[in-house]
Amino acid sequence: MIKSLVRALRGNPAPKPKRIDLALQGGGAHGAFTWGVLDHILEDGRLEIEGITGASAGAINAVLLADGLARGGREEARKRLADFWRAASLGGGLPDVQRKAIDRLFSFLPLEDSPMGIWFKAVSQYLSPYDFNPLNINPLKDLLRRFVDFDAIRKSETPQLFITATNVHTGRLRIFSRDKISADAVLASACLPLLFRAVEIDGVPYWDGGYLGNPSIFPLFGKTQTEDVLLIQINPLARHSTPHSSQDIVNRLNEITFNSPLMGELRAIEFVMRLIDEGKLPRGLGLGKYRRINMHRIALDGSAKLLNAGSKLNTDYDFFEMLRNNGRRAARRFLDAHFADIGVRGTVDLRAEVGAEWA
């Protein structure tokens, strides 16, 4: 808003907003980086969000964003995100039972040598969530209902919204579209199976969506018109050191595992794009035609050197604020460098990204 006013005073009208889809990864407390990216995008005003897809903590950010846009536009969306992350922080004033639920949600991978890690390792060898939570209490549902009006989301025509979960019985991906979004759908998307009991919806149990889609990009293709997808990635693809401790090894395995479904989708997108460019597939909208997707990315990689499995447990507001500020800076750098590319070309070299290393 302020930037648009400054441009008007200078005689430079604000550029027409460009439509884009957002794909939001999960990753525990590191989702505060995504909050920062979204906060800057909403403040900047040059992007019109047509569709959102998210998994786990990305699903929480997605519904907060969609709810704010549905009820009050950009500023309300910024407020919704800020209020949730403040409440989710250690000093956020939540009742003890909700505090524990949030701590578990953001305990994406317990730090091995921390008191919580030691407790979790001991308990998980003998007890499952079905043992230490026999009443299946999950106060996170109440917290989501406090911050999100799911009726408003379901009634709103834009943006399109998709939440990913994993069907425990079939091992298949479940996509909850906007008209099916509920607190239970978000809980299912964020259900880490060693921490929470499976979330049942219509008699079907679901676990965290990140196992099969972190996030799932393909649902956007049939429901939105834009060919531009901005991925907000908080699980690093590359680390340039070999892990040696058991904690670092498990953390790296976790990063690779939760990026695996995303890499599969990017590989499929690159393959279709290549066939379109070679004239082997018809480009366009409608039956029998294919869309050439322009992939863009804002990644946590630049900050990841200081982050690890243990930092995904960190719920101090100062830590959240640091990640938010990093996200805002990353979004500003992306828009300054690539706004002109949106609607024209992708800014991620997918061929280099997904190509196998041949010996």
Contact status, residue 178 vs residue 154, Cβ threshold 8 Å: yes
Q: In whole angstroms, give the CA distance from residue 64 to residue 69.
A: 9
Q: For residue 62, which of 37, 43, 92 has the smallest C-alpha distance?
A: 37
- The pLDDT tens digits along the chain (359 residues) read 555 555 555 556 667 899 999 999 988 888 999 999 999 999 999 999 999 999 999 999 999 999 999 989 999 999 999 999 988 776 666 666 666 666 666 654 444 444 444 444 544 555 555 554 554 556 677 778 889 999 999 999 889 999 999 999 999 999 999 999 999 999 999 888 877 889 999 999 999 998 999 999 999 998 999 999 999 998 877 777 888 887 678 777 777 888 888 999 999 999 999 999 999 999 887 777 888 999 999 998 755 555 654 444 556 788 889 999 999 999 999 999 999 999 999 999 999 888 877 77
Q: In whole angstroms, give the CA distance from residue 302 to residue 251.
A: 17
Q: For residue 28, which of 104, 119, 117, 111 has the smallest C-alpha distance?
A: 104
